[in-house]
Amino acid sequence: MNIVKRALFGGIYVALIVASLLLWNSSKILFVILISCFIILGIIEASRLFNHDRKAVSKYITVIDCAGGVALMLSLLNHHSQMVDGLLLVPLAIYFLVRLSYQIYLPSHNAIADIRQSLASLVYVAVPLSILGIIATKHSPQVVLAMFIFIWLYDTGAFLVGCAIGKHRLFERISPKKSWEGVIGGAVFVIIAAIIIACVEPVGALFNNKELSVDQWISVDTWILMAIIVVVAATLGDLFESLLKRTAGVKDSGNLIPGHGGILDRIDSLLFVAPAVIILLEIVSIIQ
């Protein structure tokens, strides 16, 4: 039954992400709603992890932080629109003033610890998820879809190969089950997918900007490099979340998704992959 639940809710999760990116050019509303939910749920879970050794954080602080995370995402998503840049910063300015002012009215709280927790939650969850909108807007939603597919292929390949022949532990202190064999196996899956996207034109048409001619598509070298970066970043993201959970003494970041744990257990790799990929894309854009 647990396998059935895991497959069912995993399928819903994948379907929502794919649909939001396929519908991007006609409407961004599903993408905005989905990423907003990820930010809100992720900040709630991250706040608990960062607050594991203290009394319960104020629910009002969490609400303000969630609003600030969504405001950050919306501001960056609209960065390339015709709106005046200054107006885009208004939601973030409001968050800054409200969040710090509210702390004054919590005399029984450790102000430094509370602010540190808020900033950590925003930096860990909201910033990387907001970067997805920048990649989709400045480059293409197809690149974001490729990122997700690379992550899913890596997880699948690492699991299958790791279970079959995994013997050498990758980072036993933090994650005893992960193996070097699993990482290499997952990397092979992703690199093969990158080569197919780059070299098989019908497939490449699905993952490159449709407004560009074939000779303007992302190059083979860039796709392969992106695949390698996704593997490294996804591994680090997974290890970092494992470190947080181990420090907090919990198995999962939450119990939101039956069979999968919390939302952070689903997007931990993505939180490292998004910043790494945008660095690559910006460097490639400058070089070209």
Query: Could you read off the pLDDT of 151-185 as tens digits, one per residue?
Result: 999 999 998 998 898 888 888 788 878 889 999 99
- Read off the pLDDT of each residue in 17-43 and give the average, rounded to a whole number: 94
Q: Is the dihedral of CA 151, 125, 42, 90 positive or negative?
A: negative
Residue 251 pLDDT: 81
Contacts of 256 (CB under 8 A, 6+ apart): 41, 45, 262, 263
Kindly state the tokens that stand for 68.
Answer: 């600030």
* 31-73 pLDDT tens trace: 999 999 999 999 999 998 888 776 667 788 999 999 999 999 9
The answer to whether the beta carbons of residues 210 and 22 sit under 8 Å apart is: no
Closest CA to 117 of 188, 61, 59, 73: 61
The model's pTM: 0.90
Q: How far apart are CA 116 and CA 57, in angstroms?
A: 12
- Read off the pLDDT of each residue in 106-120 and give the average, rounded to a whole number: 86
Q: How confident is the model at residue 84 (pLDDT cuts 50, 70, 90)?
A: very low
* 262-288 pLDDT tens trace: 899 899 999 999 999 999 999 988 887
Contacts of residues 123-127 at CB distance under 8 Å and 24 or more positions apart, as own/partner, are 124/46, 124/271, 125/38, 125/39, 125/42, 125/43, 125/46, 125/69, 125/264, 125/271, 126/39, 126/42, 126/43, 126/68, 126/69, 126/70, 126/72, 126/73, 127/72, 127/275
Residue 1 pLDDT: 47
